[in-house]
Structure 1
Amino acid sequence: MSRRFPSPTAAPPLEDENLLSEILLRLPPQPSSLPRASLVSNRWRRIASDPGFSRRFRRHHRPNPPLLGFFDMYGCRSFVPTLEAPDRFPPGRFSLQRGDDDWFWSLGSRHGLVLILNRPTNQLLVWDPVTCDKHWIAVPPGFECDSDSPIGGAVLRYAVDDHHFLVALVSTTEKQDHTRAIASAYLSETNTWSDIISTPLPPASESRFQLQAEDLPPFECPTMIYCSIPAVLVGDSLYWWLRDSSYNILQFDLDRDCLTVIPAPVDLYDSDIHFSVMRADDGGLGFLFVSKFSVQLWKTKVIL
């Protein structure tokens, strides 16, 4: 007679370490999710507190991370939380110490990092409010930190490595009566700036807002980076408004390392139009125009 041996019993789902980590990986990306899960048992705490699992958790939820809050653009003086308890962070949790002579201006935030320009010292600060990590970077030669030549900037992390980041800077410069846009990129991995690239900008033209009033003389509207609106990241390119009479758009292609000026698809001289650059549903570049009587949504079309 043959003897039958019982087949090994499969471990319950919550006893299987690999399966449990996959389950925890799919918890909501709210700040309280992993701390709450770590209270269930020692096994759950070990997985939730593992640095490798934390990196996987952030990468898994990177396409749609929660918005913890936002900073005041003018000096990062205050943090305004947007979530409700228990995910709400107190405003004092994200505080930035400044010296008496510091003059901070926020250039934008992305991927959990904040990019700040300190004009008196000609330095950039890449700040992680969650970990309190700070990286000071000298502004490269060729960029003037003054109100006459505003600097636009953006920071982003690499898709694979969370430890390194990229900083992009753009500005305008006058040479031989011609205005040019300039750009450079900093890689934290090599601690170096790329060579400055440039492209000519449309010549300054008379402001049509001013021409609407017959009793006011016309004036030239200089072209500069519109720093009051953060850059928009679409694919491998960053986009800024160009503050001139027609509101062109400056594209910094990080992959090809080139600058391009894109004209607006509609006439923006009407002072009643509100204009925004955004990502379209298909991942391309989109434009939103809102006026008194209509709303227009445009998107770029790639012609092969």
Structure 2
Amino acid sequence: MSGDKGLPAVGRRRSPAPAPPLDNDDLLSDILLRLPPLPSSLPRASLVCKRWRRLVSAPAFVRRFRARHRRSAPLLGFFTQGDSSVSFTSTLDPPDRLPRGHFSLKLEDRCRFYSCRHGLCLIVNRMDRQFLVWEPVTGDLRRVAFPPEFGNAGNKLVQHAAVLRAPGDVHAGEDHSIPFLVALVGRDEACTRAFACVYSSETGVWSNLISTACPSMVPMYYNPNTLCGSSLYWLLGPRMAILEFDLDKQFLEVIDVPSSDDRYRMFQQWVIPAEGGGLGFLCMSGYSAQLWMRKVDSDGIAGWVLGRTIELDKLLSLDSEVNFPPLIIGFAEEDNTIFFMTSISGIDISVSIVQLDSARFKKPFRIEKIDYHHPFSSVYTAGNTVLVSNNIGFFVLIDRMIYHRGHVRSDGY
């Protein structure tokens, strides 16, 4: 009968209604993984309900969150070396700004902080002839002995080094530490040749030494290195040049700088990635930041081309009668961001952060000493941190994590 058409067939069972998407833990976890990698993201999510708190606080989820965002890790702040310690200053705005005291590390005698990259920091201990690879977010600290050629029995001198994550989508080991490489550059006693080799935390050994002629020039001790593509670069002095260490092809090369004035000038030159890829060079000329690019012409000859110039006195509204020309004290590779020291008033030193691609800048902040400062980018998930709201509507981070519990492991020789 026509009146029966809308009735269900006898004996036919209806399929159960699918669970709402947010009732599926796996699907919800995949959604939460897409939160921005800022320190406040997971604490805020944990306040939604007990279920969300359980998901985002699970160690497996935290590891997945860090792995997903490690290639787009935010700039958290910078490290500065003191007389006997390394201190951290956050450059984020609330509620993501980390309190002072985070990531601090007491240094051993004759240690020097060299560089940051990929969530790792590198410190050299010349007295004990070893490198310290520090992962501030976890507190993990590993020791790597100098290769034999640079030890007690060797005749080569360590000049500089760099740290970076091992290539590829390599996951952390059972102890959740980041697999890393340490690239070392050194020289002979006569300063006629430069040497390089690489240590792998996965194999626990140094590669064979490679070398190139490098007469009367050495990598400047405290000038940080830059990673462009598969190559690391250091500035040479006292006659200015650039030392390239290609990690993939395993070769060293000395490259001329783009300026006819090839004197090494501290805080005024920096190797940077070029716009669109390749090798770039930043040179200060008064209040102007000149961005050079290395190009190869139709005959296969490489040379430098001036790309663009940023007038910092106009961008940052600097007063040339009060301030001195800006000095470069740090460079964040992941963000292509330069730290410029712009003025000194009494004991206050003012620093501006300029993003080179967009020419955007952040409100100036203060530092306490003139030195190279080391920008630090990483995914910080705040550990056992909760985010609470005070009575005036601001969010406050309350951190219970204790760092540096004496967990020190030795690698290498």
For the criterion TM > 0.5, the same-fold answer is yes
Other-structure match for 1:280: 274
Other-structure match for 2:211: 198
Which of 39, 44, 60 lines up with 2:47 in the alignment? 39
Mapped pair 1:237 → 2:231: yes
Other-structure match for 1:134: 141
Q: TM-score, normalised by structure 2?
A: 0.61
Q: What is the DSSP-based 3-state SS (H/G/I as helix, E as strand, rest coil) of the residue aligned with 1:300? A: strand
Mapped pair 1:259 → 2:268: no
Shift of 1:110: 1.0
* 2: CA distance, partners of 1:104 / 1:131: 21
Which of 82, 91, 104 lines up with 1:95 in the alignment? 104
Mapped pair 1:52 → 2:45: no
Shift of 1:61: 2.1
Shift of 1:85: 3.3
After TM superposition, the structure 1 stretch with the greater mean CA deviation from structure 2, 127-136 or 264-273, is 264-273
Mapped pair 1:62 → 2:55: no
Q: What is the DSSP-based 3-state SS (H/G/I as helix, E as strand, rest coil) of the residue aligned with 1:126? A: strand
Output the amino acid matched with 1:16. Answer: N
Q: What is the DSSP-based 3-state SS (H/G/I as helix, E as strand, rest coil) of the residue aligned with 1:62? A: helix
Shift of 1:95: 2.4
Task: Tell me the alpha carbon deviations over residues 34-53 of structure 1, each in whole angstroms, 9 at most, x when there is no partner.
Answer: 12212323332333123333
Q: Once superposed, what is the RMSD of the aligned Cα atoms?
A: 2.7
Output the amino acid matched with 1:180. Answer: R
**Unmatched segments (≥5 aa) in structure 1:** 205-222
Other-structure match for 2:393: none
Task: Tell me the alpha carbon deviations over residues 244-281 of structure 1, each in whole angstroms, 9 at most, x when there is no partner.
Answer: 31x11111111111111111123233788932211123
**Unmatched segments (≥5 aa) in structure 2:** 1-7, 173-177, 301-413
Output the amino acid matched with 2:236. Answer: L
* 1: CA distance, partners of 2:228 / 2:55: 34
Other-structure match for 1:208: none
Q: RCO higher in 1 or 2 (8 Å CA, sep ≥ 6)?
A: 2
* 2: CA distance, partners of 1:271 / 1:94: 33
Output the amino acid matched with 1:262. Answer: I
After TM superposition, the structure 1 stretch with the greater mean CA deviation from structure 2, 165-174 or 50-59, is 50-59
Shift of 1:149: 5.2
Change beyond 3 A, Cα 1:294–1:135: closer
* 2: CA distance, partners of 1:73 / 1:256: 33
* 2: CA distance, partners of 1:271 / 1:226: 9
Shift of 1:241: 0.6
Q: Is the 8 A contact 2:180 2:201 kept in 1?
A: yes
Which of 263, 280, 301 lines up with 2:295 in the alignment? 301
Task: Tell me the alpha carbon deviations over residues 116-139 of structure 1, each in whole angstroms, 9 at most, x when there is no partner.
Answer: 011211111111112111101111
Q: What is the DSSP-based 3-state SS (H/G/I as helix, E as strand, rest coil) of the residue aligned with 1:242? A: strand
